[in-house]
Structure 1
Amino acid sequence: MDTLAQLKSELDSEYQTTRKFFDIYPDNKNEYAPHEKSMKMKSLANHLADVFEWPNTMLTTSELDFGTAQQPTLSSTKDELLKKLDENYKSGIDALENAKEEDLNSTWALKHNGHELAKWTKYASIRHSLNQITHHRAQLGVYYRLNDLPLPGSYGPSADVQSF
């Protein structure tokens, strides 16, 4: 299996799991945060959905500057989040399907107001974004648990759902 096929497979798997989490998103908990330093649930879920588009951004640009980039629209309902997730996943998977293996060797930078935070190959950038999906979905799982919502399984059964 080539590298792009592996990335597509992993993005698809993370999408399927994240969709299960969004299927039970509680619209009435948008403003919930477990701590004053934590993101609100609405912001966290939106950020998680946005990360699925990142492979497209990484494969079609040489950098992203968070300080100057257009801020994504925040969805407020489960249905809006699911639509956003589906659209961003399609964008990410399409970019991977249209890429060539050699595209993964190009450099990509993450910046904030011109200050370079990280510079990786596009492959490493996409790998990092896949790790971000796992990280932020786990955070969302903590938010759900603290609100007594049943957690779907991620990489196996959960205490609430014995199948995955």
Structure 2
Amino acid sequence: MPNASHLKPNKMSMIQMLLKELEQEAQTTRKMLSRVPNDKYDWKPHEKSMTIKQLATHIAELPGWITMTLTTDELDFAATPYTPENITNTTQLVDYFEKCLADGKTHLSKATDDQLQPNWTLRNGEQILSVSTKGEVIRMVFSQIVHHRAQLGVYLRLLNIPIPGSYGPSADEMNF
């Protein structure tokens, strides 16, 4: 029987898989953030919703959580209150995203699969909000990017701004 070992797919490390996914999601995120209109930064669709500025800034900062996850063992909101970057226009927003993305990629590319195994804790003082492995937290960061990006898509739709496709063409990109 012939040797079929050449038919086996190359085994990717977890770090390589995460880097690939991060780059794929970054392409869509970049397009979505670039559509935020400068004159709508205070707009929100509902009184309980974030403003488009708050939402878009959070999306832009999320790749930076990769760095935080890999370089710390926890985030304690009681000791480190959340202070978002003050973004005032879409050029700043996209630049901030690119900065956070580059930082997250740099730290992730230098990490090893073994560094994804230790636990990382999210807390508010004594209240433990979650404990997960660093790898699980990084996957949660990716999920948060996708989740909030979808929210931003609804905001943009309500403002009648064409939405870029995420995993294929959007309705705005289709020829009906």
TM-score range normalised by the length of the shorter chain: over 0.9
Tell me the amino acid that sits aligned with residue 141 of structure 2. S
Aligned to 1:116: 128
State how many pairs are aligned.
163
Aligned to 1:139: 151
Equivalent residues of 1:153, 1:162 under 8 A apart:
no
Aligned to 1:42: 53
Report which stretch shifted further, 29-38 or 109-118. 109-118
SS in 1 for 2:166: coil
d(CA) in 2 for partners of 1:81 and 1:67? 27
Moved over 6 A (4+): none
Aligned to 1:26: 37
Tell me by how many angstroms 1:162 deviates: 3.5
SS in 2 for 1:119: strand
d(CA) in 2 for partners of 1:30 and 1:90? 25
Computed over aligned residues only, the root mean square deviation of the Cα atoms, in angstroms, reads 1.3
What do the CA deviations read for 1:39-96 (whole angstroms, capped 9, x no partner)? 0000000000111111110000000123332513221100000110000000110111
d(CA) in 1 for partners of 2:168 and 2:21? 15
- Percent identical among aligned pairs is 41
d(CA) in 2 for partners of 1:29 and 1:99? 39
**Superposition map of 1:95-114 within 5 A:** 95-114=107-126
Alignment TM-score, normalising by the size of structure 2? 0.89
1:78 pairs, out of 90, 96, 103, with 90
SS in 2 for 1:108: strand
Aligned to 1:157: 169
Alignment TM-score, normalising by the size of structure 1? 0.95
Q: Which consecutive residues of structure 1, in runs of 5 or more, have no partner in the other structure?
A: none
Q: Which consecutive residues of structure 2, in runs of 5 or more, have no partner in the other structure?
A: 1-11
1:6 paired with 2:17, answer yes
Equivalent residues of 1:105, 1:123 under 8 A apart:
yes
Aligned to 1:52: 63
Tell me the amino acid that sits aligned with residue 66 of structure 1. F
